[in-house]
Chain A
Amino acid sequence: MTQVATRSAAAPAVAGPAPRFKRGREAAVGWLFVAPFVVLLVAFLLLPMAYALKLSLYRSTLIEGEHFAFFENYTQAFNDPLVREGVVRVILFGLVQTPVMIGVALLAALLIDHATSRFSRFFRLAAFVPYAVPVVIGTLMWGFLYSKDTGPLSAVLHVDFLSSNVVLASLGNVVTWQWAGYNMIVLYAALQGLPREVYESARIDGAGPAQIAWRIKTPMISSAIVLATLFTILGTLQFFTEPLILQPLNPGSITAHYTPNVYAFNQAFSFQQYNYSAAISFLLGAVVFVGSYVFLFATRKRSAL
């Protein structure tokens, strides 16, 4: 330990006159270290992105073969009522799902921040465990719970969870169950980082725990809430696994174009419409990508005010 300290004192003297040779060597070493990552980045991110863009600009027909089609696929996508239906659905889903889940997560985080009992530690675990379950299996479990034949819920609540009017809410519940605990931990971590003195003085001023939670703690972790909201929106726009798993339970209400991702998947793998599918995926990816940066930028600006 002492050796490290003495050496480090000597280090600047050596680093100062270090000749060009050393810098060149460090550059080579640096590139060698990032090389595997760069190769993967190119092969599995940049190349697929470029390829999806290229595919989306081509069309393939029996007569003409593959040919350049400019934005034909995109015009088709914009005018495709099935795409529109899916887009409207995920936006609606995001508008309802996001506040509900973030609300549950925030409530849970405030509760475990407030109550430090053995039960609150148990609760923290219980809320977080669903996150460790694969989405496929979490959805399967809820599928069984929703079913009239195997689950208790529809007998108690007299609701057909898989009917076309209710199924979106049922899917939202699966997402809430799976991700609320994860967001709770993120928000809880932010709460733990707050200075305790602030609400000590609020308490002296006569504020109750609920007031402190809502009027002091919540605004102070707003940037963490914003981030959690962003990731939830990103997730809901890409909604795929849950509807795909529950589809066989009621193909009438969960259609083959239920969400843009489900539609793109079916276009590619049921109908071999790779070009059209690429256009839909690329559009969706671009919306998610641009949207997330606009969102981050807008909220950053506001929090700076």
Chain B
Amino acid sequence: MNSKSERAGIVPHLVMGVMALYFLLPFWWLLVAATKDNDGLFLSAPLWFSDFHLIDNLKTVFSQENGIYLVWLRNSALYAVVSGVGATVVSALAGYAFAKLRFPGRTKLFALLLGLIMVPATALVLPTYLLMSKAGLVDSIWAVILPSLLNPFGVYLLRVYTHESLPDEMLEAARIDGAGELRVFTSVALPAMRPALVTVLLFSMVASWNNFFLPLVMLSDDHLFPLTVGLRTWYMSATLGNGGEALFNVIVTGALVAILPLIVAFLLLQRYWRGGLTIGAVK
């Protein structure tokens, strides 16, 4: 019996092993490649170490073009934090109102939101760019941050969560105690919404950190670029060889540095990632 159940486990584990190799291969390659100089990248075996140049590469990444990589890193962090926190605040206010406050037009507005959740973001980038340029906001941090504050799915998620997890009686009790509506929201509703808030925050921050199309279109000053757009310009000039300084080993190391914070955050906050996907999947 025991041997039979063990045998039943071997095939699934073999399949998982092969799939894990596939998913991890690019990471292994990146880690190895970041330790090589440009010649090593092209001349040595791709999946194993050769001469160790990681420290030199890191120095070059951070000093290239007067340290513009650090500017990009800072921009990515700024856009992610401001957009993430802003989108979460806006979604929390709206999600709470949709779930718990009665106001005229609520049902219609929510139906509108549900109808618009499926509008593809990429189709809006060009007209948003043109409108922003009329407003004189193009090529500023606001061109990237303001559109990212809109998160219809976050509103939907918080409405569903609040509706199910926050009893009306708790709000009513706080009101009878004389708390104003804002106070009821901050001291009764927000704590109850916390798990869903963390999920929305996490997802909007990551979406912003990973965003490419919007900043690509909105920004032309390379000192405003986030990492994604910045690394692409290095990659373009290295591949096309049009006079850019960046070499491939610098790009590879830059890519490694760019994904490290995400992977660390991902490992530390696993619970919330999966929580968010589960909420999204069940509803």
Query: Is the Cβ of A33 less than 8 Å from the Cβ of B274?
Result: no
Decide: B123 and A284 in contact? CB cutoff 8 A.
yes
A48 CB, nearest partner CB in chain B, Å: 4
CB distance from A207 to the nearest CB of B (A): 13
> Which residues of chain A are near B22, meaning CB under 8 Å?
177
Task: Given A26-B102, A122-B20, decide whether A193 and B282 contact each other with a Cβ distance below 8 A.
Answer: yes
> When the two chains form their complex, are residues A137 and B259 in contact, meaning their CB atoms are under 8 A apart?
yes
- Residues from chain B with a CB closer than 8 A to the CB of A133 are 259, 262-263
Say yes or no: is A127 at the interface (Cβ < 8 Å to chain B): yes
Taking a contact as CB atoms under 8 Å apart, the answer to whether A4 and B169 are in contact is yes
Are A281 and B123 in contact, with the CB atoms below 8 A?
A: yes
Which residues in B have their C-beta under 8 angstroms from that of A289?
118-120
Using A26-B101, A31-B103, A107-B15 as known contacts, say yes or no to A45 and B109 having CB atoms under 8 A apart: no
Q: Contact between A292 and B118 (Cβ–Cβ < 8 Å)?
A: yes
CB of A141 within 8 A of CB of B16, answer no
- A51 vs B126: C-alpha distance when bound (angstroms): 10
Interface size band for B: 35 or more
How long is the Cα–Cα vector from A144 to B256 in the complex, in angstroms? 13
Contacts of A209 in B (CB 8 A): 8, 12
A15 adjacent to chain B (CB < 8 Å):
yes
Is the C-beta of B255 less than 8 angstroms from some C-beta in chain A?
Answer: yes
B79 at the interface (CB under 8 A from A): no
CB <8 Å contact, A52 and B150 = no
The A-contacting residues of B in range 1-32, CB under 8 angstroms, are 8-9, 12-13, 15-17, 19-20, 22-27, 29-30
Cβ-defined partner of B228 (8 Å) among A3, A23, A55, A137:
A137
A48 touches B127 (CB 8 A): yes
B62 at the A interface (CB under 8 A) = no
- A264 within 8 A of partner (CB): yes
| Residues of A close to B235: CB separation below 8 A | 140, 143, 245, 248
Chain B 160-203, CB-CB to A under 8 Å as 1, else 0, gives: 00000001111011001100010001000000000000000000
Interface assignment of A47: CB less than 8 Å from any CB of chain B: yes
- B52 in the interface (beta carbon within 8 A): no
- How far, in angstroms, from A293 to B115 measured CA to CA in the complex? 9
> Interface size class for chain A?
35 or more
Asked if A142 meets B26 with Cβ closer than 8 Å, knowing A15-B172, A249-B239, the reply is yes
Q: Is A298 an interface residue (CB 8 A)?
A: no
Name the one of B30, B102, B150, B168 contacting A40, with C-beta atoms under 8 angstroms.
B150
Whether the pair A134, B210 counts as a contact (CB closer than 8 A) is yes
Contacts of B236 in A (CB 8 A): 248
A177 vs B103: C-alpha distance when bound (angstroms):
45
Contact partner of A245 (CB less than 8 A), chosen from B33, B126, B232, B248, is: B232
The reply to whether the CB of B61 lies closer than 8 angstroms to some CB of chain A is no
CA distance A45 to B150 in the complex (A): 9
Interface residues of B in 118-177 (CB under 8 A from A): 118-120, 122-124, 126-128, 130-131, 146-147, 149-150, 152, 155, 167-170, 172-173, 176-177
Residues of A in contact with B (beta carbons under 8 Å apart):
3-4, 7-8, 10-11, 14-15, 23, 26-31, 33-34, 36-38, 40-41, 43-49, 51-52, 55, 104, 107-108, 111-112, 114-115, 117, 119-120, 122-123, 125-130, 132-138, 140-145, 149-152, 177, 180-182, 185-186, 189-190, 193, 208-209, 224, 227, 234, 237-238, 240-241, 245, 248-249, 261, 264-265, 268-269, 274, 277-278, 281-282, 284-285, 288-289, 292-293
CB-based closest 10 A-B pairs: A30-B103, A285-B123, A8-B169, A33-B97, A7-B173, A37-B94, A30-B101, A48-B127, A52-B127, A134-B210
**17 A-B Cβ contacts within 8 A?**
A8-B172, A29-B181, A33-B93, A34-B93, A45-B119, A55-B130, A120-B12, A125-B270, A127-B20, A130-B23, A144-B248, A150-B248, A189-B277, A224-B281, A248-B235, A285-B124, A292-B118
Q: A145-B25, A227-B281 are in contact. List 13 more A-B contacts (CB 8 A).
A: A29-B181, A40-B90, A45-B119, A119-B17, A125-B267, A135-B212, A150-B42, A152-B45, A185-B274, A190-B281, A224-B281, A248-B239, A284-B123
